[in-house]
Copies of this chain bind each other. A is one copy, B any other.
Amino acid sequence: MRSITSVAYQGEPGAYSEQAIFDFFGPQDAVQPVPCATFDDVFDSVTLGKCDYGVVPVENSLGGSVHRNYDLFMRHALHLVGEVIVRVRWCLYALPGVGLNDVRRVISHWQALAQCERTLSRLLPAAEREPVYDTAGSVKMLAESGRRDTAAIAGRRARDLYGLPILCEGLEDDPSNYTRFVVLSRSPELPPQAGATLAAAHEYKTSIVFAMRNRPGALYRALAAFALRDIDLTKIESRPLQGSPWEYVFYLDFVGRADDVNCRRALDHLGEFATMLRVLGSYPRASSPE
């Protein structure tokens, strides 16, 4: 008997988060994606042991960070044990027989609407845009509603699942549209599937979160811990420190493993003046697919 890995994600079947699960944990018969209504539910599902892992988006190359998930890293004690990057191409769905001229309203997740903004302004200048909770879910809603004045934006996989035709494909304003997902776990141990990413990339990344006393030069000193050791930062994100208006926590991604000697020293150095420092995880670095 072969064991099935259960992985929580936010959205409906057909969402890019589900695609990310197959890309990382595939083949499809060895993994069970578990849809959740919200990102909070994904974190809870892993924390409570209902699922083995969770997969959540942290950043889109056009839309930027998914800030909600950064905030949830802080609220939970989960580990980041993998990353996966998915190429995003958006399709416009409508009921059979509906043409562009009939569309008065476009529904989708707000990030998808934002990524297609210029294309929509050209194709459907008068159509109202209405954010809903999920991309694939917007196609499901459309199929159920039977509305002939509405179109929905989702990835290609939604077609097989909800049986609606695609009016146009490649709606994104910029073709270099990728979403980066991370894999959440209760344990810092890497899942066996991470080996495939590592074989492709040969290097690790580490994600940390820290806070510092707010005084001139504070962030500069924090970055010195890495710059003075030639450690490459790939991402910095600031989020509000709850309860302290206009103070921030910083999320950093850098190349290397937290237990490499050089990285360990950088983290110790940062720890000397950080008021809070947590290593979220070290995991094989993913590359952007074609």
Contacts and interface: CB of A to CB of B under 8 A. Distances in A.
Interface of A: 60-64, 67-68, 110, 114, 131, 174, 176, 178, 180, 215-217, 219-221, 223-224, 226-227, 230-240, 242-246, 248, 288
Nearest to A236: B238
A178 B247 CA distance: 12
Contacts of A233: 216, 219
B216 A232 contact: yes
A106 to B, nearest CB: 14
Nearest to A230: B216
Residue among A61, A63, A68, A220 having the largest count of chain B Cβ atoms under 10 Å: A220
A226 B231 CA distance: 21
Residue among A61, A221, A232, A235 having the largest count of chain B Cβ atoms under 10 Å: A61
Given A68-B114, A240-B62, A220 B217 contact: no
Interface of A is mostly: mixed
A61 B240 contact: yes
Contact of A240 (B64, B215, B234, B238): B64
A176 B241 CA distance: 11
A43 B240 CA distance: 26
A231 B245 contact: no
A231 B244 contact: no
A223 B230 contact: no
Contacts of A62: 240, 242
Contacts of A240: 60-64
A272 to B, nearest CB: 17
Residue among A64, A114, A178, A226 having the largest count of chain B Cβ atoms under 10 Å: A64
Given A240-B62, A245-B178, A246-B61, A227 B234 contact: no
